[in-house]
A and B are shown apart, each in its own frame.
Chain A
Amino acid sequence: MSNDDVVIRVEGLWKRYGLPLPEVYYKGRRWLRSLRNSHNPQSAIHNPQSDDGPWALRDLNLEVHRGETLGIIGRNGAGKSTLLKVLAGVTPPTRGKVDVRGRIFPMIELNAGIHPELTGRENVYLLGAVMGLTRQEMTARMPEIEEFCELGEWFDRPVWKYSSGMLARLGFGVAMNVDAEILLIDEVLAVGDVRFQNRCLGRMKEQRDAGKTIVFVSHVMEMVQYLCQRVVFLADGSVVGEGDPERLITQYENAMYRSETQYNNALRNAATSFSAEKFELRSAAVYNGRTGATNSYSPEDGFIIDFHCESMVPLDRLIFSFGLLNHRRESCIWEYLEGQDLQSTVPSGHFTLRLTIPPVPLSGGAYTVNFMVRDARSLEKLCHYKGILPFVLTARRRERGVLTVPVHWECIAINQEGESGRCRIA
């Protein structure tokens, strides 16, 4: 692509929040500290300009081309929103170059400046002014905005009576009518009902197809995949991956869940865990069913899950249940076992419960495990762990369903009104 095509160019961008003060200030403070107490390490006072310490953005480089829809993904705190803020000109970069060509408009949480005592209409004028529209432009667009917000008679009522969804619609209605060549969009679609979300999505697609440049930040990977042509993956304020959405979304999900695979931590930190005195899950692990590896899982290999348990009650009184959940918390596999089958083979209270799952066509993505033990007689819950053992199933394609099976599509002709050999979808 030629250079004229680049509408946003970011070179070596560093950002740290707060007021940057000259080095002299920190030297002075360090000197004062050393006067008072020479034992204190001098490094306690950091110049926020120095390379070490936390940065919101760290040597970030990025190019966005005209007419492109770029997705930015990354975990919380990766610097996505900071990047958008710097691009929008809300906060200055600490170091580096930011070059934006064209009218840029940030659709970042759109209720800036709304006053609860004013009506929807009055607030729309204010929002328009905030977003850089003149009063004439606003008056001209008012019917369209009113129509888009779908507030009906509520449009002329004070905003403090609105529900949060209605409030968000107000902001979005105005934002959708602002003319800009570059749009920055940050998680705004998370508002409103499905119908409104679909309208917004449709409008965004319209804008994209009209040749506008869109930079889109979202945690909803389906949305990113649907809208974006290219994706940038941020971690700790830098770009760690860039390119094809499908590949990067998989990379993101793998990274996101892999970092949590420290089982013990997860077990200890799981807020939803419960364990009575009578039974304890000591540890657990998941292995690749073919290779035995603990870091790469594939649906074709199946997997083995070991629960290392200690029971203070007879096994014949226990019911074990196991659930495998995908990242949407949908239960994909659920099985249970009554304790009496185990009793003959396990004499003592310490044992390993091994679960072998054969190759199943589960979709790729992140999975977690639920594990529960009940007393068979009283049905008392003895131990309950939710969301443990996070692991990632690597699949070639990203799928939305629970299972990925090689379906076969076929179009079958129906003879109707003499027409034959043609496919018709009514």
Chain B
Amino acid sequence: MALTWDHPTWRQQAVKFWTLLWALVNRDVRSRFRRSILGPAWAILRPAFMMVVFSVLRGFVNIPSDGIPYPIFIYSVLVPWTFFTTVVNGCAPSIMSNSGILKKMAVPRQVFPLAAAVAAGFDLLMSGLVLAGMMLWFRVPVGWSLLWLPVLIVLTGTLALAVGMALTSLGIFKRDFLTAGGYLVQLWMYATPIIYPLSSVPEGWRWLYVLNPMVGILEGFRSILVRGQAPDLVLLGWALPGIALALLVAWPLFRVMSQYFADVL
């Protein structure tokens, strides 16, 4: 099998890719506000709702929070976590809802999950504003450590895209993978220090626990946004193998499988 096209230059392709990416993000973000009363507020409400639920829950069961006020303790990581789950769960729908494009035009398929991720980044920004308000209220010391935020956001997005794209590659052909992916993300939340602190994980298991890349990332968010400190670099370092592995699996898988998306959609 051989397939050759006279392709435009690398630069032209890159320009086209960005144009399409922005057009898709633009469409997704704009269309969400039309015919919606709360519009962007919904982006804030989801993590806020979870924060309230877990705060109430904490009233019944004793969950330690390392002496930090619980609302900000949990909201500071719920915001990036919501971003993570939105991206993971948004990959497959982005392919399916754009099947009209996918079946007619030879556009690079990775543009759709990527656009979904950027659109989710917009939600992240909105709920980040609320988080900023909370940080002022709880008088969190802020400093240069905030510069770590973009790094952590990119790491979260990369991992989420890798996981989401791997699930999508298989899930477009067999829907079981998408269903299982939904459960996986729910379980993942409890394997990550979101509602409880890292300190409550037994010492003997911690070596295994930190291999979950979201541990290092979310602990990083927490130290920046709650303690005003730079992330624990050792912890963050342990997250990198997981992210690299996810990418190494997901990217080639997606490249191969996405060729055949148009056949089955």
Q: Does any Cβ of B come within 8 Å of A282's Cβ?
A: no
B106 contacts A98, CB within 8 Å?
Answer: no
Chain A residues 75-109 with CB under 8 Å of chain B are 85, 88-104, 106, 108-109
B19 contacts A90, CB within 8 Å?
Answer: no
Given A101-B6, A117-B31, A117-B35, check contact A106 B260 (CB 8 Å).
no
Q: Does any Cβ of B come within 8 Å of A274's Cβ?
A: no
A126 contacts B6, CB within 8 Å?
Answer: no
Cβ distance B168 to chain A, nearest Cβ, rounded Å: 14
Given A18-B264, A130-B107, A132-B16, check contact A92 B3 (CB 8 Å).
yes
Partner of A88, one of B34, B104, B263: B104
Residue among B1, B8, B24, B173 with most chain A CB within 10 A: B1
Q: Does any Cβ of A come within 8 Å of B27's Cβ?
A: yes
Chain A residues with Cβ below 8 Å from B106 are: 88-90, 106
Chain B residues with Cβ below 8 Å from A104 are: 5
In the bound complex, CA of A104 to CA of B98 (Å): 21
Chain A residues with Cβ below 8 Å from B8 are: 103
Closest B residue to A14 using CB positions: B1
A99 contacts B4, CB within 8 Å?
Answer: yes
Chain A residues 122-153 with CB under 8 Å of chain B are 122, 125-126, 128-135
Given A126-B23, A133-B19, A158-B34, check contact A109 B260 (CB 8 Å).
no
A100 contacts B6, CB within 8 Å?
Answer: yes
Q: Does any Cβ of B come within 8 Å of A411's Cβ?
A: no
Cβ distance B208 to chain A, nearest Cβ, rounded Å: 33
B262 contacts A85, CB within 8 Å?
Answer: yes
Chain A residues 281-301 with CB under 8 Å of chain B are none
Closest A residue to B261 using CB positions: A91
Closest B residue to A182 using CB positions: B6
Cβ distance B99 to chain A, nearest Cβ, rounded Å: 9
Q: Does any Cβ of A come within 8 Å of B101's Cβ?
A: yes
Chain B residues with Cβ below 8 Å from A111 are: 100
Q: From DSSP, what is the main secondary structure of chain A's interface residues?
A: loop
Chain A residues with Cβ below 8 Å from B20 are: 129-130, 132
Q: Does any Cβ of A come within 8 Å of B30's Cβ?
A: yes
B30 contacts A122, CB within 8 Å?
Answer: yes
Q: Does any Cβ of B come within 8 Å of A412's Cβ?
A: no
Cβ distance B26 to chain A, nearest Cβ, rounded Å: 8
Q: Does any Cβ of B come within 8 Å of A118's Cβ?
A: yes
In the bound complex, CA of A99 to CA of B3 (Å): 6
In the bound complex, CA of A393 to CA of B73 (Å): 84
Cβ distance A177 to chain B, nearest Cβ, rounded Å: 15
Chain A residues with Cβ below 8 Å from B104 are: 88, 90, 106, 108-110, 112
Chain A residues with Cβ below 8 Å from B16 are: 129, 132, 134
Chain B residues with Cβ below 8 Å from A91 are: 259-260, 262-263
Cβ distance B50 to chain A, nearest Cβ, rounded Å: 28
Q: How many residues of chain A get a CB closer than 8 Å to chain B's CBs? A: 45
Partner of B105, one of A20, A112, A134, A135: A112
Cβ distance B84 to chain A, nearest Cβ, rounded Å: 26
Q: Does any Cβ of B come within 8 Å of A17's Cβ?
A: yes
Q: Does any Cβ of B come within 8 Å of A426's Cβ?
A: no
B19 contacts A135, CB within 8 Å?
Answer: yes
Q: Contact string, A383-410, partner B, CB cutoff 8 A, digits 1/0?
A: 0000000000000000000000000000
Q: How many residues of chain B get a CB closer than 8 Å to chain A's CBs? A: 36
Partner of B4, one of A100, A128, A130, A133: A100
Q: Does any Cβ of A come within 8 Å of B103's Cβ?
A: yes
Cβ distance A90 to chain B, nearest Cβ, rounded Å: 5
In the bound complex, CA of A89 to CA of B107 (Å): 9
Chain B residues 242-263 with CB under 8 Å of chain A are 257, 259-260, 262-263
Q: Does any Cβ of A come within 8 Å of B22's Cβ?
A: yes
A134 contacts B19, CB within 8 Å?
Answer: yes
Q: Does any Cβ of B come within 8 Å of A194's Cβ?
A: no
In the bound complex, CA of A106 to CA of B262 (Å): 15
In the bound complex, CA of A82 to CA of B164 (Å): 29
Cβ distance B97 to chain A, nearest Cβ, rounded Å: 9
Cβ distance A133 to chain B, nearest Cβ, rounded Å: 7
Chain A residues with Cβ below 8 Å from B259 are: 91-92
Given A91-B263, A100-B6, A104-B5, check contact A112 B101 (CB 8 Å).
yes
Residue among A98, A115, A128, A132 with most chain B CB within 10 A: A132
Q: Does any Cβ of B come within 8 Å of A19's Cβ?
A: yes
Chain A residues with Cβ below 8 Å from B15 are: 134
Q: Does any Cβ of A come within 8 Å of B167's Cβ?
A: no
Q: Does any Cβ of B come within 8 Å of A418's Cβ?
A: no
Q: Does any Cβ of B come within 8 Å of A113's Cβ?
A: yes
B5 contacts A130, CB within 8 Å?
Answer: no
Q: Does any Cβ of A come within 8 Å of B78's Cβ?
A: no
Cβ distance A223 to chain B, nearest Cβ, rounded Å: 21
Q: Does any Cβ of A come within 8 Å of B2's Cβ?
A: yes
Closest B residue to A19 using CB positions: B260
Closest A residue to B33 using CB positions: A117
Cβ distance A110 to chain B, nearest Cβ, rounded Å: 8
In the bound complex, CA of A88 to CA of B2 (Å): 15
Chain B residues with Cβ below 8 Å from A99 are: 4
A130 contacts B260, CB within 8 Å?
Answer: no
In the bound complex, CA of A112 to CA of B257 (Å): 21
Closest A residue to B260 using CB positions: A19
In the bound complex, CA of A194 to CA of B95 (Å): 36
Q: Does any Cβ of A come within 8 Å of B87's Cβ?
A: no
Closest A residue to B6 using CB positions: A101
Closest A residue to B173 using CB positions: A19
A19 contacts B263, CB within 8 Å?
Answer: yes
Partner of B27, one of A17, A100, A118: A118
Q: Contact string, A20-60, partner B, CB cutoff 8 A, digits 1/0?
A: 10000000000000000000000000000000000000000
Besides A92-B1, A115-B31, 12 more A-B contacts (Cβ < 8 Å) are: A19-B173, A19-B263, A88-B106, A90-B104, A93-B1, A97-B3, A106-B104, A108-B104, A113-B24, A117-B34, A134-B16, A134-B19
23 contacts between A and B (CB under 8 A): A19-B260, A19-B263, A85-B262, A89-B5, A90-B106, A91-B262, A97-B2, A97-B3, A98-B3, A98-B4, A99-B4, A103-B6, A103-B8, A104-B5, A106-B106, A113-B101, A115-B27, A125-B23, A126-B23, A128-B23, A129-B19, A129-B20, A133-B19
Q: What are the 8 A-B residue pairs with the smallest beta carbon separation, nearest first?
A: A89-B106, A129-B23, A117-B34, A112-B101, A17-B263, A113-B101, A117-B31, A112-B100
